[in-house]
Structure 1
């Protein structure tokens, strides 16, 4: 504990500002630090209520009124915490009504877009932020919550090649093959680069659908210079019935190092 009275007694007037700065730093250090946008469960509420770090403090997210919007927000929260997804069952919790409501509430609402590949971090979603007020509560006492399922088996955005040269992409902690409908050399270049191989000779390929692997109905618009496939614009495909999935053939020449992180 910092003894502020003793600290200020030792300060001469000329050094007053310096002493104030030391006191402020001491308070911040004593209170702990967290990274902006970090997410965790609040242990006081059975690990369902979500907290977010904002302004170097842990606070709460007000729950959206629309259930579909809350579900997408919960999915992003779960994947950010290392789980595969939010529970899709009827017991899936996306908000809790707490009266008295915990404070402070930093976020009025989040909106995560309807995309084939969800945002990787909650701060990638649109949001409305409350100015910091220690006692600010959410309207109607509804706080954002989630109950996640299954520890993620892979990191979002990771890719791998099967022995057949089929491309697998990790989404929400699960591996998916990709539609070959819009697959071309530009996407193949990005995949080879992400795998650490030479992108110049990358060739697209159409591969038979792998056994027991789901096919993600998403297309990608790449210019060929992206570092990761996740950097390409993704959009929903309403037809993926070609009977083949996307594959690549990379040259056996090393490219520049490329780590997912």
Structure 2
């Protein structure tokens, strides 16, 4: 009786999944063939929302900004014949798509690829975005906008905050020897904000702003193209594109601002748990349907799903492992998204509050990525806490999510997406890497302990990791 129940349940689930897939296919039409073409829309020759198509006669559509990174931007700019990506944009910065058509989601490149086709791509046309969530880029012309020091060698220049509601927030104004002025915010990120707060003696950056929340529209902009690693002691140590009495910004409406704080979370993965739990599993694809909805499989798995009616019987070889991430900082870790933007996952029966909380990669000895796993969405909660610390965050229902100071969020090896798809990987020696908060969307005390790197021996039927250690993102 129990076996019959399982078979019926699988049949019902598979039928429902196939129906939804059929509806998607009916909406999207037959998947086009041909190479991916790309162009920019809504900006200038070197900037804009990214739109793509396959083949010369197919329709143009956008790329969802979920997990969008500078590595992805480098590939786009290379395809367009420009230099490297100077900055990426999200949330349809250059305008909403009129046709509401999205072709790709969860694009993941290492930055060296010649084309998007060489990156890890989800199934064409399957996504969870709308016209307000299109990815974009600022590209540099070949040999332009190189990350270099300005022709002038700077000593530490004066810096101040203005326009805030309190002494810990405001727009950044600098004086490089000309006069006081603001900073173009085209390339202003959390990394630059970290350096600004450090230089101001206000410890850390909780957030950065680019919209003119703190005024300053009538103040001259005197620095553009500022790029920091986040470790510098002052802004003068960062790379500058242009410095002058008044410089031109790619978007003159953006002004660099910060919100500083004395406390921040600090995430640290558990190295020992990873070493102790890693193993191989052959898993039929009908048991991976929830995971594949989140993009947790290699591109060949999605090809099989699109091509063969009996795709559920195919098997994938997965490298599985548990991961625990502890907050060793001085403030609770909260999701990047507001509760109103959390996504309900019916397969897992809870809300996911972060699109990309962890990322798993496998590299060969030359540093080329040969496989990757991806925790597409996460629910954050206190699973295990130090003695005397009460759990505050849970995933059940529409509850507050996060990781308290002194607590760990644990994803055990049997949970969906706690894997790397190894099906096409040849036996050999590799480097395994796990990163948490890989996009640095949430400010932390330090990113020097956000990754684990291990040596891995893959024998085809077994896998072992050794010499695992914490390292920087």
Provide the TM-score with structure 2 as the length reference. 0.21
Asked which structure has the greater RCO (Cα within 8 Å, sep 6+), the reply is 1
TM score, norm. by length of structure 1: 0.36
